[in-house]
C-alpha cells in the first residue's frame, strides 16, 4: 500500500457518490513499478521460460545461483497470463511458501530476498506477479488479485505437485488481501500475514468502524473463515497501514499463534529486525512441525 492522501472533495465524493470497490482499489492500492526482469522462451521449450534480470532488480548473488530460480507463465480464470517464480532454496524443505508481495515491487526486485529468506528458514518459495505487474498481462484490480493467487495456487498444486498441507501462504501489505481470500477458501499448512489491512476504507479513513458495500479488500470479514494457523506480523510504528489493523486481524483469527509486534518498525523495515527471522524460524521449524 502507499500513502492515502485524499482531498476533502474526494472524501465527499466517496461517501456521497460511492464508487464500486474496483474503483477504490485502483485509486488506493496499485503502483506497479517499471519491470525489472523479462522472460524469454527456453530453447526447445514452449512452457518454460528463462529469466533475465535488469540492474534495477539488484540481484545480490552470483549467476550460478540464478539456476535456483525457475520461471514460467500461467493463466488466470479471468484470462490474464501471469508470471510465476519458483525459488528452490532448500532441497529437503518440507514447506513451500506461496508469497504475495507488497506494492511497488515485482518478482525481479524480490528474487534476492526470496533466496535469502528461504535459505534461512528452510523453505522453498513460490511467488507470482499480479496482473499488470512485471511481465504479467492485464491490469491490476481487486478481482484480478483473487484470480492471480488462485492461478498461482493451482500451478503449485498441479505443475509442482505440492500438497496443501505443505504450503504456507505469506502475504505482505497489499499481498495480504489475496492471501486472506485464498486462506478463507482452502485449508493450508499455515498463513503468515505481514502488515495486513482490515479493508481499503479503513486504511483511507481510520475512523471507519464497519465494512461499507462499496469497500475494497474486506479482509477483516474473511478472517473468521480462515481455518489454518495464522502468524500476524506488524510494526508498531507503521506509517502506511496502522498497527491497529494488525491487532484487529489477529483478534479475528480462529487459530492465531503468538503474533510478532516489532517495536519501532515501520511499514518497510520489519525484515531488518532480528526478531523477524527468529520468529519465522520458530514458527516453521517448531510450531508447525509439532
Residue among 56, 30, 20, 23 nearest 173 (CA)? 30
CB 72 within 8 A of CB 48: yes
Instruction: Give every CB contact of residue 96 below 8 A, 6+ residues apart in sequence.
Output: 123, 124, 125, 126, 156, 160, 162, 166, 167, 168
- Which of 106, 129, 215, 238 is catalytic? The answer is 238
Cα separation, 205 vs 268, in Å, equals 21
Sheet containing strand 230-235, strands side by side? 37-41, 49-53, 69-75, 81-87, 124-128, 96-100, 167-172, 190-194, 230-235, 260-262
173 classed as catalytic:
yes
- Which of 173, 195, 199, 228 is catalytic? The answer is 173
The residues annotated with a catalytic role in the active site are: 173, 238, 267
Amino acid at each position: 500500500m502507499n500513502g492515502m492522501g485524499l482531498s476533502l472533495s474526494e472524501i465527499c465524493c466517496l461517501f456521497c457518490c460511492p464508487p464500486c470497490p474496483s474503483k477504490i482499489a485502483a485509486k488506493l492500492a496499485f503502483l506497479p513499478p517499471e519491470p525489472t526482469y523479462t522472460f524469454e522462451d527456453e530453447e526447445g521449450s514452449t512452457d518454460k521460460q528463462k529469466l533475465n534480470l535488469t540492474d534495477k532488480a539488484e540481484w545480490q548473488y552470483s549467476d550460478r545461483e540464478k539456476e535456483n530460480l525457475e520461471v514460467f507463465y500461467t493463466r488466470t480464470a479471468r484470462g490474464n497470463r501471469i508470471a510465476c517464480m519458483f525459488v528452490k532454496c532448500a532441497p529437503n524443505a518440507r514447506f513451500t511458501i506461496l508469497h504475495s508481495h507488497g506494492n511497488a515491487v515485482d518478482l525481479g526486485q524480490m528474487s534476492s530476498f526470496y533466496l535469502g529468506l528461504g535459505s534461512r528458514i528452510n523453505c522453498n518459495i513460490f511467488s507470482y506477479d499480479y496482473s499488470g505487474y512485471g511481465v504479467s498481462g492485464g491490469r491490476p484490480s481487486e478481482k484480478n488479485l483473487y484470480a492471480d493467487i488462485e492461478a498461482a495456487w493451482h500451478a503449485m498444486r498441479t505443475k509442482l505437485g505440492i500438497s496443501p498441507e505443505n504450503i504456507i501462504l505469506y502475504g505482505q501489505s497489499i499481498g495480504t488481501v489475496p492471501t486472506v481470500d485464498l486462506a478463507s477458501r482452502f485449508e493450508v499448512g499455515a498463513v503468515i500475514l505481514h502488515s495486513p489491512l482490515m479493508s481499503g476504507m479503513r486504511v483511507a479513513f481510520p475512523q471507519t468502524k464497519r465494512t461499507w458495500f462499496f469497500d475494497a479488500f474486506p479482509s477483516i470479514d474473511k478472517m473468521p473463515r480462515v481455518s489454518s494457523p495464522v502468524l500476524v506480523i506488524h510494526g508498531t510504528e507503521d506509517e502506511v497501514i496502522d498497527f491497529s489493523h494488525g491487532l484487529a486481524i489477529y483478534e479475528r483469527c480462529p487459530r492465531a499463534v503468538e503474533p510478532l509486534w516489532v517495536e519501532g518498525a515501520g511499514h518497510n523495515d520489519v525484515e531488518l529486525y532480528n526478531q523477524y527471522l527468529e520468529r519465522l524460524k520458530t514458527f516453521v521449524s517448531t510450531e508447525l512441525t509439532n
